Amino acid sequence: MLLYQFKMGTNPRRVIIYLAEKGIDIPRYELDYASGEHRSASYMALNPSGRAPTLVTADGTAITESAAIVEYLEELYPERPMLGTDPVQRARVRALERAGNDLIVRSQAWLWNLAGAFKAKEPQPSALVAAKNWRYVEELLDYLEVAVGDDEFLAGTAPTVADFTNFAIFQTARERFDQPFGTDHPKLDAWYRRFRARPSANY
């Protein structure tokens, strides 16, 4: 297997953190986003979306999208499950992971207009649009603040894909773009700080 990644990217981070938490060692190739390698003909042949990550399996199958890659690997490596251990927990993990997916989409639209660093995505960033988008980001932060409660992890007492998905966008906003993302949500902020201390969270 070979994982094509961009280690600073929000979506690749979900897989990278998962691999670290599971203790799975897979050969990796770091895409050079600065030079546009992710848009090269050779990479686009593997992943027509031109985005990371992509996992190429032993038989040459290219699996795209972080959630699909994680599910594939969970099938291969079922020890220490990261999708929950019983039907109720799996449902909770799925719900929180889905919220994380939505949070990534909403937050990226906000960051594209706020940071001015995504000219390919938003050639004319607008502070007004960013402010409007933030309302939809905050809606999900409010939900997650209630969901995490006093648990150590988002879905209970052990790390799951719900943590990896949500943490990735928190880390992007806070560390790459120096935004106080979720800092006014005390339980989420405490969750982020706990998870950030884990070795898997290091870039």
Rounded to two decimals, the pTM is 0.94
Report the range of poorest mean pLDDT among 30-44, 55-69, 72-86, 117-131: 117-131
**Number of neighbours of residue 95 by Cβ within 10 angstroms:** 14
Here the tokens at position 137 are 């980001």
CATH code 3.40.30.10 region(s) in the chain: 2-76
CATH code 1.20.1050.10 region(s) in the chain: 87-201
Rounded-to-integer distance, Cα 65 and Cα 55, Å: 9
* pLDDT, position 117: 66
- Per-residue pLDDT at 94 exceeds 70: yes
Please say whether the dihedral angle defined by the alpha carbons of residues 149, 152, 157 and 162, taken in this order, is positive or negative. Answer: positive
Q: Superfamily for 2-76?
A: Glutaredoxin (3.40.30.10)
What average pLDDT score do residues 38-45 get?
Answer: 96
pLDDT confidence tier of residue 122, bands split at 50, 70 and 90: confident
- Top-level class of domain 87-201: mainly alpha
Tokens 């390919």 locate to: 120
For Cα atoms 168, 203, 14, give the angle at the middle one, nearest 5 degrees.
30
